[in-house]
């Protein structure tokens, strides 16, 4: 009995230590982060059920890290349904081994929140905003980025030659 309890407690502790913390945010929180960040940042909007998003995320972190190291803050903002928060999202993130900061957008009215990120955003995902407060750079991608496009976009944001 004690052995079973120990194994259960150990399993619970390990899953809690390695589980990704997924913060629930509003669009106001996201805009505040964008307006106050002191370092270059990439904010990607995605969902677990979105095939282009999953393809993009599969190389997103690695390509960014290869170009920028730790100088760029990467935030992956899930727009999954409320029923998927946090368990489905956390399971997806854990299965894929993502290390970026993961937020879940607790908003359902795309007509309200999309223009607060970019006036051209029509609600499609994936969508990515790249900002660099040092150079006043801001560029919005209303589409999936391909593996070769990601490092070029990051280099442009960082004002590095290609």
Tell the burial category of 125 from Cβ atoms under 10 Å away from its Cβ (0-12, 13-18, 19+): buried
> Tell me: the pLDDT tens digits for 62-111?
899 899 999 999 999 999 999 999 999 999 999 999 999 999 999 999 99
pLDDT in tens, 141-155: 999 999 999 999 999
**Hey, what domains does the chain have and what are their CATH numbers?**
21-157 (3.40.30.10)
| All residues at 6 or more sequence positions from 82 whose CB lies less than 8 Å from its CB, including other chains | 106, 108
Of residues 48, 44, 34, the one with CA closest to residue 101: 44
120 pLDDT more than 90: yes
User: Assign residue 127 a region: left if phi > 0, alpha if psi is -120 to 50, beta otherwise?
Assistant: beta
Whether residue 14 is predicted with pLDDT greater than 80 in this model: the reply is no
- Give per-residue pLDDT as tens, 37-61: 999 999 999 999 999 999 999 888 8
- pLDDT confidence of 1, banded at 50, 70, 90? low
- The whole-model pTM stands at 0.87
pLDDT digits (tens, 9 = 90+) for 18-41: 346 999 999 999 999 999 999 999
SS3 119: coil
CA angle 32, 33, 35 (to 5 degrees): 65
Q: Tell me, what's the pLDDT at 58? A: 87
State residue 77's pLDDT score. 98
């Amino acid at each position: 009995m004690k052995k079973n309890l120990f194994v259960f407690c150990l399993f619970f502790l390990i899953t809690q230590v390695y589980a990704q913390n997924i913060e629930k945010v509003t669009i106001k929180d996201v805009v505040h982060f964008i307006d106050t960040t002191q370092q270059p940042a990439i904010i990607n909007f995605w969902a677990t059920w979105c095939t282009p998003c999953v393809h993009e995320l599969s190389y997103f972190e690695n390509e960014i890290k290869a170009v920028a190291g730790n100088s760029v803050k990467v935030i992956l903002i899930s727009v999954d349904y409320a029923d998927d928060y946090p368990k489905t999202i956390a399971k997806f993130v854990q299965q894929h081994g993502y290390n970026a900061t993961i937020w879940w957008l607790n908003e359902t009215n795309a007509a309200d929140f999309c223009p607060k990120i970019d006036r051209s955003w029509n609600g499609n995902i994936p969508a990515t905003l790249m900002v660099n407060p040092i150079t006043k750079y801001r560029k919005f991608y209303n589409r999936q980025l391909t593996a070769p496009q990601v490092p070029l976009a990051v280099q442009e944001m960082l004002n590095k030659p290609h």
